[in-house]
Amino acid sequence: MTATYTRFTNCHLIDNGQLYEFTDLYYNNQTKKISHPPSNPQLVTQTIDLHEQILAPGYIDIQNNGIYGLNYSNLNGGYTEKDIQEFKNFYQDAMAKYLTTGVTATCPTVTSNFPQVYEKVLPFYKKSRLDNQTDSLGAHLEGPFINIKKKGCHPVETFVDAKDGESKLIEIYGGDASLLENVCIITGAPEIPGILDVIPSIVERNIIFSIGHTMSDYKTGCKAIDNGATMITHLYNAMPQPHHRDAGVVGLINSPVVGDDKTPYFGIICDGVHVDPAMANLAYRSNPNKCVLVTDAMHLMGLPDGTYKWDAQVIVKTGDRLYLENTDTLAGAATTLPQCVRNLIQWSKISLPQAVKTVTNNAAVSLGLQKERGFLNIGCDADFVVLDKAGYVQKIYKLGNEIKSSDVKLETKIARDEKISAVL
């Protein structure tokens, strides 16, 4: 069968931190991958006029604990086949909704848990390539090999060490096959006994090791990087704060010791709650090519304000702020990734292309997926967001399938809600 093509025209492209004005882009209708312009113009069977809007790669969220009421960790050994099927349906629905925010791929994040939970949930997060929902890139396992002093809202009864080495890792996460097939990132604290020694075996399985929920000092962080760690989980949060004579984990983002080639990527939550804008700007300016914006979203994202039970704990949601009840402990976030991008533009006084790079190019390279997604290069998937000049997502194309956006300006949403109320 002769391949046919779709052409985007009358648009500006964002890639590599740059804006390419009035540049057309093509994708192959059969493979759903970006392609060169066909030698025969008649093979272009669809032309999409974007009316001078901006086309960028689909956004990638490498840390997200749940969305629209779905908690990615919410299965255990006692669940029945019916429960599992309901979870599957819930997962598919939530991922379809998440796609409307402009996130075309994510790493579903499972917080510290027991082996029977990993055994149940991880198969859902095997890498996918779908046209109607946000893809999974493999799970992000945040814990349970983390430090109790930086536990955040993780349940301490699940915490373990790795004194028994690789075998303990395999036992906790539900077997070696599950790790290889379903996992993209593991967050751990390098000072936990045995963790430094198992980092190489994690990396050998093509899994990213990320430093997080840690009391690690700078020297131990450097050892973790020497052993294969390539990322830091939600910079500043759940780690010692930097001091001018004790840089800690934060100091690794521009360390003269580890060198540019080994400088880790760092996730950062630009919601204005987890990190002060000045500190977010400081981190971004320190190393913009290694900065990856993440939502760290909890399952309460997209739900109304109120009080919600989460296992044995209670979370209070007020706007984008989530706290454990009667404490000042943050319990994840509820801000969308496009809003994080707009926040970074404002805080760091950078351009839209520079900010978009943190959730496309940087995110893809941090996971070694730059040949598949996150760029507008030939051979990458036809996953795109259409943006206006202010960085609001106007529509999404998932493997070429057009999806309506839910990323609307606040005043637009208020006007729409008032109009609906008037009709009712």
d(CA 100, CA 383): 12
Q: Are 363 and 374 in contact (CB under 8 A)?
A: yes
Whether 224 contacts 199, CB under 8 Å: yes
Q: Is residue 237 marked as binding?
A: yes
Is 238 one of the annotated binding-site residues? yes
Helix (H) or strand (E) holding 71: strand 70-71
Q: Which helix (H) or strand (E) holds 209?
A: strand 208-211
Residue with tokens 């373990």: 160
Residue 213, annotated as binding a ligand: yes
Q: Please indicate if the annotation marks 153 as binding a ligand.
A: yes
Judge contact between 258 and 225, C-beta under 8 A. yes
Alpha-helix runs per DSSP H in 160-243: 166-172, 176-182, 195-204, 218-226
176 catalytic, yes or no? no
Q: Tokens 């007020």 label which residue?
A: 318
CA distances from 229 to 49, 74, 148, 160, 285 (A): 44, 28, 21, 19, 22
Say how far apart CA 168 and CA 284 lie, in whole Å.
Answer: 36
Q: Which two tokens stand for residue 315?
A: 């979370």
CA 85 to mean position of chain CA atoms: 25
- 140 annotated as belonging to a binding site for a ligand: no
- Distance in angstroms (rounded) separating the CA atoms of residues 299 and 313: 14
Residue 245 marked as a ligand binder: yes
Indicate the DSSP class of residue 193. Answer: T
Distance CA(101)–CA(385), nearest Å, equals 9
Q: Choose the catalytic residue: 296, 381, 383, 407.
A: 296
Known binding residue 130? Answer is no
> DSSP assignment, residue 381?
B
Task: Confirm whether residue 342 is marked as ligand binding.
Answer: no
SS3 percent helix, strand, coil of the chain, rounded to 5, is 30, 25, 45
Report CA Rg, the chain: 21
Is 51 annotated in a binding site? The answer is no
Q: Is 332 annotated as a binding residue?
A: yes
Please tell me the distance from the alpha carbon of residue 125 to that of residue 135, in angstroms, as a whole number.
9
Of 168, 164, 169, 108, the residue nearest 133 (C-alpha):
108
Numbered residues of the known binding site for Zn(2+): 142, 213, 234
Catalytic positions are 296
- In the annotated binding site for substrate, the residues are 153, 237-238, 245, 274, 330-332
